[in-house]
A and B are shown apart, each in its own frame.
Chain A
Amino acid sequence: MALMTIAEALRQAIREEMRRDPRVFCIGEDIGIPGGFGGAFTVTLGLSEEFGHERILDTPISETGLIGVAIGAAMAGLRPIADVQYGDFLFCAMDQIANQAAKMTYMSGGTVKVPLVIRAPVGATGRGAQHAQSLEAFFTHIPGLKVVAPATAYDAKGLLKSAVRDDNPVIIFEHKLLYGSKGPRAERGALSPVGEVPEEEYLVPIGKGIIRREGKDVTIVGKLLTVYRALEAAEQLAKEGIEAEVIDPRTLVPLDKELILDSVRKTGRLVIVEEDNYTGGWGADVAAMVAAEAFFWLDAPIVRVSAPDTPPPFSPPMEQFYVPSAERVVQAVKSIL
């Protein structure tokens, strides 16, 4: 076992997959330039020294172009890992992702595969409206994409390796406050969880969630950073004798519905926490799924804790108000007890 940050675990996953399979390559902006950061958050730092600039491919600032190249390479048999620096820039490549990558397998009757991985950092971190969004719901809505959202170093490595080996386009959302990036790319207010990562080969299967804390009174579902907010809230609630169960789905598409449903059948209450905007958020779909499939087990209305329906504000105090805090999760739980 080695202790690693998420950025280090992702780097190790890429290194191992690139060593294992010569078809795997990375493409992105400033991911391998000498003296650079190794992408925006140090994940690809040093990889060009081992694999060279042929496989750590720097591009101009053109998300439309680099995602298009990656999709074409994937259709032609390679296994690209595309990096977009900030998830917000995926909007530039929306036609490539939604109309091409996601639909090719369906439109070709399964003869064309698009084994593409897109890495997309998300989350509000003092960068204002265009570098801070939580974009998960945009992509969970598109059939043909798989969407993963690791919150620990172990899951980050295991899920990225599974994504590389998957024949479908997989988007991996990474939270900027969880990377544990060091040096000039260290994030203010970061949680930077350091976790144990096995030396030996392992994969985390896409589509399997995990219970981060067991409890019987209420189920709290979070993802990425809000898993930690939910755990903080559970800690506070425990002091008052309220036992919260915290679930980290890890994969958003396909969702581990049974894990959530089983928990709600036990607790009778559900709080969903996410950094996304409220309307049409990923949590809305989870709430609807539970209402449809576990209605008779619910003992209280489902509550969602999210960002309000505004862009992420730039001012740090405003941003503090904007993103869900552990206190808001505690309040939400108490409102349905």
Chain B
Amino acid sequence: MATDVLVPPLGQTVDTVTLVTWYKREGEAVTQGERLYAIETDKATLDIEAPASGILRHITAQPGQKVRVLSPIARILAPGEEAEAVPAPAPPAAPAGAPVPPTPTPAPAAKPPTTPPAGRIFISPRARRLAEEHNVPWQTLRGTGPQGAIVERDVRAYLQSRAAVKAPLVTIGPAITPPAIAVMQAIPLEGPRAVIAQRMLESRQTTAPVTLMSEADATALVELRRQFHEAGIPVSYNDIFLYIAGRALRQFPRLNASLEGETIRLWDEVHIGLAVDTERGLLVPVVRDADRKRLADIARETQRLIERARAGQLTPEEMSGGTFTITNLGMYDVDAFTPSSICRSVLCWESAASSSGRRCFRERSPCAIASG
């Protein structure tokens, strides 16, 4: 019996994901449980296992394409079911000695290739016209049409994703024709970066960010970290801030809160997100119950989460449910900065503490507590 390959549901907030790659080709044998394809959500890249054993057929989604969760993107056929794919009837054999008739040309017999030859991009005239009307860098799109050609729906999907991350522009004054500048590379804004850009903009438009800065004496903090390191426990400043913030939030519950519409929700639990910069963009894994964990446990957990974030392996669960966020740019010689909260917590703690930064050597660490 054929099994549909369905895009798995990924929590309540994810309805589309990007197909990253197929690990198996059309027609290849697959075994239930082995990795079949990878998808990318706005937060992570995940490998998905084959739901059944058999032959992979009817792939309908190509790498780069956005697919809806729970939609079928291929089928796995039992070996016997191969016959379903109606083969073109063979022409009758000519009797020996008879003149050979010209080969019949029934239209559907020859299956065109499913991808353009290497180095070529196929785009339908209709899609190209639409792309050029809207200044779409179509060379960067992946085609889903016949022979892998970019077709109208691919351009429309791009336009839709572009519209989703772009605020409407209001033109004031006469339109200005931009000077013709040679484009080195056109990178479509998509995946996590598109989501980050959209959330940042929304945050700036819907919140009133205020930044307060205060310098504190960090002598004891630096000493504490040194002692941990001497004891063979690698604790970062981030871990210490997480620990401190967790305890502080328990003491001041009104700061462990989120603004949701007209309501300020005070959370009964303390889960702290840690902003991690990765090649895919900003990810915020969450340390749960940070107010109750020992510093060494926090250190072990952040190390694990950061590694998973950089490897693109974080699950949606590992990135959701934060009640407070810490971000630290101290390692980049930054003295202070203003946050753009993409979480809904009323407070973000922006810390510019650095293990090698100037101020820490003077045993003073600048910390920014920002309401945003």
| Chain A residues packing against B (C-beta within 8 Å) | 268, 278-279, 295-301, 303-306, 308-310, 318, 321, 328, 331-332, 335-337
Contact = CB atoms under 8 A, between A and B. Distances in A.
B124 A332 contact: no
Interface string B126-167: 111100000000000000011001011000000000000000
A308 B108 contact: no
A332 B106 contact: no
A306 B109 CA distance: 12
Given A297-B126, A299-B145, A300-B146, A268 B106 contact: no
B179 interface: no
A308 B92 CA distance: 13
B112 A299 contact: no
Contact of A305 (B86, B108, B149): B108
Interface string B208-223: 0000000000000000
11 contacts: A268-B124, A297-B129, A298-B125, A299-B125, A300-B149, A301-B146, A304-B107, A308-B105, A321-B89, A328-B106, A336-B145
A306 B105 CA distance: 9
Contact of A332 (B101, B108, B151): B108
B152 A268 contact: yes
Contacts of A295: 125
A335 B126 contact: no
Contact of B125 (A297, A305, A328): A297
Nearest to A278: B105
Contacts of B128: 296
Interface string B109-129: 001100000000000111111
Please indicate which of the listed interface residues B92, B102, B111, B151 has the most CB atoms of chain A within 10 Å of its own CB.
B151
Nearest to A279: B105
Nearest to B101: A310
B151 A299 contact: yes
A308 B104 contact: yes
Interface string B74-114: 00000000000010010010000000011111111001100
Interface string B11-27: 00000000000000000
A298 B102 contact: no
B104 A309 contact: yes
A310 B104 contact: yes
A287 B138 CA distance: 27
Contact of A335 (B102, B108, B151): B108
Contacts of A336: 145-146
Contacts of A301: 146
Contact of A300 (B103, B108, B124): B124
A1 B124 CA distance: 47
A299 B102 contact: no
Contacts of A308: 104-106
A300 B105 contact: no
Nearest to A306: B107
Nearest to A304: B107
Contacts of B145: 299-300, 336
Contacts, number: 62
A191 B329 CA distance: 78
A306 B149 CA distance: 25
A337 B145 CA distance: 6
Contacts of B111: 335
Q: Which 8 A-B pairs have the closest CB atoms?
A: A308-B104, A299-B126, A299-B124, A296-B125, A331-B108, A278-B105, A299-B152, A296-B129
Contacts of B149: 300
Contact of A309 (B105, B126, B152): B105
B95 to A, nearest CB: 14
Contacts of B127: 299
A328 B146 contact: no
Contacts of A332: 107-108
Given A299-B127, A335-B112, 20 more contacts: A268-B152, A278-B107, A279-B105, A296-B125, A296-B128, A297-B125, A299-B124, A299-B151, A300-B124, A301-B146, A304-B107, A308-B104, A308-B105, A309-B103, A310-B102, A318-B92, A332-B108, A335-B108, A336-B145, A337-B146
A220 B161 CA distance: 32
B124 to A, nearest CB: 4
Contacts of B129: 296-297
A157 B124 CA distance: 42
Please indicate which of the listed interface residues B105, B111, B129 has the most CB atoms of chain A within 10 Å of its own CB.
B105
A300 B127 CA distance: 9
A309 B103 CA distance: 7
A328 B108 contact: yes
A331 B89 CA distance: 14
B151 A300 contact: yes
Nearest to B126: A299
Contacts of A299: 124-127, 145, 151-152
Contacts of A310: 101-102, 104
Contacts of B146: 300-301, 335-337
Nearest to B102: A309
Nearest to A308: B104
A282 B218 CA distance: 87
Contacts of B125: 295-299
A303 B127 CA distance: 18
A336 B148 CA distance: 11
Nearest to A321: B89
Contact of A298 (B101, B106, B126): B126
B110 to A, nearest CB: 10
A268 to B, nearest CB: 5
Contacts of B151: 299-300
Please indicate which of the listed interface residues B101, B107, B112 has the most CB atoms of chain A within 10 Å of its own CB.
B107
A133 to B, nearest CB: 15
Contacts of A328: 106-108
